[in-house]
Structure 1
Amino acid sequence: MKPTMTVAQPSAPIALALLSLSLSMLLAALGTSIVNVGLPTLAEAFDASFQQVQWVLIAYLLAITTLIVSVGRLGDKLGRRRLLLSGIALFTFASALCGLAPSLGVLIGARALQGLAAAIMMALTMALVGESVPKASTGSAMGLLGTMSAVGTAMGPSLGGLLIDGFGWRAMVLVTVPLGLLTWLLAYRHLPAAAPTPKVPSAGFDSLGTALLALTLGAYALAMTLGHGSFGWLNGALLLGALLGLGLFIHVEARAASPLISLNIFRDRHLSASLVMSALVTTVMMATLVVGPFYLAQGLGLETLRVGLVLSVGPVVAALTSVPAGRVVDRFGTRRITFGGLGAMVLGCLGLSALPLGSGIVGYVAPMMVVTLGYALFQTANNTGVMAQVTQDNRGVIAGLLNLSRNLGLVTGASVLGAVFAMASTAATHNLAHPQAVASGMRITFAVALVLVGMALVIALVNRSR
């Protein structure tokens, strides 16, 4: 009897631990996408401009981008399970505060608090995979997390629209409260306790490095998001401040007794290459979210409902393929699947860069599905390859760096490739609303995206040869 119980018992705890991690990733993704559809409603409810209510989204993204590495390191020091439970509880509290917000300012502040919690959840969810599942199943677990992230992104706009239509905008943000409570309960009961580690003298937490990195990333994110497509003196000043902050951060970290990010880890060429490739690939994926709505609405003349349905195809493909991608990674290894994913993205971007306007919805959806499939393969293989080789004491900060590279790609894609699309479209006919102008702008934007994916493929080839 005992041998039978020893084999059967571990599967249930592992499954429940994975479920809690998956729900944590789902909450963080849902927090990003669910408010987008509600921005017009919020502008009307608070009698505010679109530029003002846009900070409901920006505050969340800024908090994640500026703090995700710091909370990863904090998890390495204080305990990842303990900090993740605190992050889930904070996210649930901030969601309730968002739903009860009496003014737009309070709502924006609550969203920033929610973003801090989401940073904790995103970084430590990935880091805890190594402690919750066997190493041979890491790829499958990473694929599952990718699926939940895609599901959260896909269902956010439709769920938010449904709740606003039936119950008002407050229901849109309150829906994550019961889900947060369930996630916390599952994580508390089923996440494994941290393995005991020998007591060693600690030099403490790098507060100065944390502050410098947060200010540097905040300046970069603001430089990329302010101005709505135009790059003025304020954007330039913020970008210069970000460059100076980066230099000062490197100077401080090289001399810190217990640095936030040990600069020695970047001597690992595999890790450095993986971070750069992740940023490049995510920049391209953000272009699909920025350019796609314009092309479908103004290029193909689709109404809003059909635009939303077509845009959901990408996240649905990612949701359906991430878990199989993880199994493929476990079987064939990370390098082959990395090349396969990047190769698929090259083919998809090539198709979009040569897409004639007369090809219609099918002409757009087919290469977009190839791009999304390639992205799901690449992300699963890339994340698995990095996290499988990380030492126990660096899991949090490395997971934070992976998420940071993704967020920087999102910010850069929205701003830089968004600006490329705007300039290419207006250069065609001096009228952004003209279908031919939109089609021309999309082709040029994905030609640039093709170059970026090509760069990632070259990096992968060089990294393999070394």
Structure 2
Amino acid sequence: MKPTFVAVLACVGVGTFMSRLDAYIVSVALPSMGEVFGRDMGAMSGVMLFYLLALASSMLIIGSLGDRFGLRRTILAGYGLFSAMSLLCSLTPGLDMLIAARFLQGLGAALLLVASYSLVPTFIKAKRVGSAIGMMNMVGSLGVLLGAPLGGVMTQWLGWESVFLVNVPLGLTAMGLCWHTLPPDSVCRTGRPAFDWLGALLSMAGLWGVVLGLDLLRKADSATSAAMWGATGIACLIAFVWHERRIAAPLVDLDLFMNPVFSYALLAKVFAFIQMSIQGYVMPFYLDWSRGYTTQGTGAVLAIFPVILSIVAPYAGRLSDRNEGGVPLPVLTTLGMTGSVLASGFFVMTLDLDANWPTCVFLALSGLSYAFFLSPNAKLILTNMPERSRAVGTSIFTTATNVGMAIGVPLAVLMFHLAGGESITAQNVDNLKGFKSVYTANALCGLVAAGFALASLRGSYRRQKTHGKS
């Protein structure tokens, strides 16, 4: 029997809530981890970076494997691995082991996210997909809302290890819910082409090379290594595209990118999440180490962004459902990203003030802007892919998110280093120029995202005109 709208939302909602909760709990705890381990902001970036690299580099593989093994199996495996690695993160005695556990946790999150976004268009009618995505964003924002203050309280009173334990009961609950709610997978394995392992390896190597090359640029003695990693990554990505166009069963259907609406909306998403990653990674360090907030206070201030997002996101989702043909959706995404650029510009201009209110205004404006970007952008992408490529297309959709997030972390550290000269630590808090540099880059990324969102509007009009003639 086909699961109901509410049942599907419950299955994917728990995962969305858990992943967003984990992201903000860990983010708030990073400055405290840095103090415990005696490491600076650049070194602590590995906790986020390797998690995001695992997510981004495995999405395409998991999307293809999800078509072969079924969405129910995929989401169950995701919940199981994510929960187990959360427990392992809480037990690690050092930074290196923590980073390794976070990498494995990222693989679990990749399984979870690909399956979740595939389940929505599979079991929910097209006219309600936008509302479903809006509700997922709202539930995710509630996870962020709780994650920031909860992470601050738990880190301050129970230690940073405690923030990972929250995922364990949530993951086990979600596994039981999916097991009893989702129908068994009916996947035909006969006649399927062989899995494109070469394409998978090339895509992973390409992403790792580019991101690690960017990460190494912050170290003065690693310029040669950074160039080698970056060049290798670019070469692998070029080889990946060449390979995918020449095999019968590619890992990625490159014909998806012939649709300009899909392509431009996807690029807008990448740069939007670079922007979100920059401000999400740096802000806890700014509040904790530079402004002198307690960890608990940092969590409370960071909650402003998800509060606004959770209030406005359902409205934006319903608004996207009212726009048949998709033409107004790029307008919403362009306005959303333009708002985020203005918010970042405002924050840069007010960083010199010895006051807390500019940070609160910036986070509120950012939450409002992203509320009008996320749901319309998601609907543009998810509804501009053929049903036969839904799982792979969804993996591209989620990969774009995590590629942006993975690029944003080392880019933020690099911009801070170039402007401030020294990596920030708890003992080195006078780095205002570094923060200005970071949030200037943040605004520029939002501007690029707005440009691609506007380009998707032009592509949407062209596509509608072509279909009208036919």
Alignment of 1:249-288 (within 5 A): 249-288=240-279
SS of equivalent residue, structure 1 residue 332: coil
Alpha-carbon deviation of 1:401?
Answer: 1.0
The Cα of 1:32 is off from its aligned counterpart by: 2.9
Q: Is the 8 A contact 2:139 2:310 kept in 1?
A: yes
Provide closer, same or farther for how the CA distance between residues 386 and 52 of structure 1 changes in structure 2, counting only shifts above 3 A. Answer: closer
Question: Conserved in 2, the CA contact under 8 Å of 1:341 and 1:376?
Answer: no
C-alpha change, 1:117 and 1:370, in structure 2 (3 Å) is same
**C-alpha separation in 2, matches of 1:27 and 1:396:** 22
Who is 2:109 aligned against?
A: 118
- For 1:346-398, what per-residue CA distance to the aligned partner results, in whole angstroms no more than 9, with x for missing partners? 14423542534449444443354333222222221111222234333322211
2-structure distance, mates of 1:160, 1:294: 14
Structure 1 pair 225/158, CA: closer, same or farther in 2 (3 Å)?
farther
> SS at the partner of 1:232?
helix
Given candidates 24, 42, 58, the residue that maps to 1:67 is 58
Letter of the 1:455 counterpart: G
Q: Is the 8 A contact 2:64 2:392 kept in 1?
A: yes
1:341 to 333, 341, 362: 333
1:219 to 168, 193, 209: 209
Q: How do 1:15-54 residues align onto structure 2 when only pairs under 5 Å count?
A: 15-39=6-30, 42=33, 49-50=39-40, 54=45
- One-letter amino acid of the counterpart of residue 343, structure 1: L
Distance 2:250 2:168 in 1: 36
1:396 alignment partner in structure 2 = 391
1:418 Cα deviation after fit: 5.0
Q: Which residue of 1 aligns with 2:466?
A: none
Q: CA–CA distance in 2 between the matches of 1:386 and 1:412?
A: 21
Q: Displacement, 1:144? A: 1.8
**1:446 to 1:388, Cα distance in 2 relative to 1, 3 A:** closer
Question: Which has the bigger relative contact order, CA under 8 A and spacing at least 6?
Answer: 2
Contact 2:341 2:444 in 1 (8 A): no
SS where residue 248 of structure 2 aligns?
coil
Is 2:236 aligned against 1:240?
no
The amino acid of 1:378's aligned partner reads F
**Which segment drifts farther, 364-373 or 272-281?**
364-373
> How many Å separate the matches in 2 of 1:197 and 1:209?
23
Shift of 1:445: 3.5
| Letter in structure 2 aligned against 1:221 | V
Residues 1:76 and 2:67 are matched in the alignment: yes
Alpha-carbon distance, 1:197 to partner: 6.7
Aligned residue for 1:429?
none
Residue of structure 1 aligned with 2:406, choices 407, 411, 415: 411
Cα pair distance change 1:74/1:295, threshold 3 Å: same
Residues in 2 aligned to 1:90 and 1:156: alpha-carbon distance in whole angstroms: 20
Deviates more, 1:141-150 or 1:433-442: 433-442
Residue from 72, 76, 85 that aligns with 2:76: 85
Partner of 1:5 in structure 2? none
Equivalent position amino acid for 1:148 in 2: V
In structure 2, the residue matched to 1:452 is 448
Paired position in structure 1 for 2:467: none
The TM-score with structure 2 as length reference comes to: 0.84
Provide the rounded CA distance (Å) in 2 between the counterparts of 1:168 and 1:298.
Answer: 17
**1:180-199 alignment runs, 5 A limit:** 180-194=171-185, 196=186
1:319 pairs with 2:310? yes
Matched, 1:206 2:203: no
1:462 and 2:461 matched: no
Identity of counterpart residues, as a percentage?
26
1:386 to 381, 387, 409: 381
Residue 424 of structure 2: aligned partner: none
Partner Cα separation in structure 1 for residue 244 and residue 437 of structure 2: 42
Return the letter of the residue paired with 2:163. M
Cα RMSD (Å) of the superposition? 3.3
Do the aligned partners of 1:92 and 1:176 also contact (CA within 8 Å) in 2?
Answer: yes
- How far apart, CA to CA, are the structure 1 residues paired with 2:43 and 2:293? 28
8 Å Cα contact 2:333-2:377 kept in structure 1: no
Q: In the alignment, residue 240 of structure 2 is paired with which amino acid?
A: F
Change over 3 Å in CA distance of 1:218–1:376 after alignment to 2: same
Deviation at 1:115, TM superposition (A): 0.9
The change in CA–CA distance for 1:96 and 1:289 in structure 2 (over 3 A counts) is: closer
CA distance in 2, matches of 1:300, 1:177: 33
Q: Does 1:96 find its partner at 2:87? A: yes
Q: Is the 8 A contact 1:346 1:371 kept in 2?
A: no
TM-score (norm 1): 0.85
Shift of the alpha carbon at 1:311?
2.5
User: The residue matched to 2:245 in structure 1 has which SS?
Assistant: helix
Q: Distance in 2 between matches of 1:261 and 1:54?
A: 30
User: Once the 2 structures are TM-superposed, how far is the Cα of residue 174 of structure 1 from its aligned partner?
Assistant: 2.1
Measured against aligned partners, the alpha-carbon deviations of 1:149-183 in whole angstroms (never above 9, x if no partner) come to 33333433432333344444443222211110100
How far 1:228 moved relative to its partner? 4.3
**In the TM superposition, what is the alpha-carbon distance from 1:30 to its structure 2 partner?**
3.0
Which residue does 2:321 correspond to in 1? 330
- Structure 2's unaligned 5+ residue stretches are 422-427, 463-470
Cα distance in 2 for residues equivalent to 1:87 and 1:413: 25
Q: 1:365 matched to which residue of 2?
A: 360
Distance 1:311 1:370 in 2: 13
- Aligned-pair CA distance for 1:248: 1.3
Query: 399-408 or 366-375, which moves further after superposition?
Result: 366-375
Distance 1:298 1:171 in 2: 21
CA 1:439–1:214: 2 relative to 1, 3 Å:
closer
1:75, distance to aligned residue in structure 2 (A): 0.4
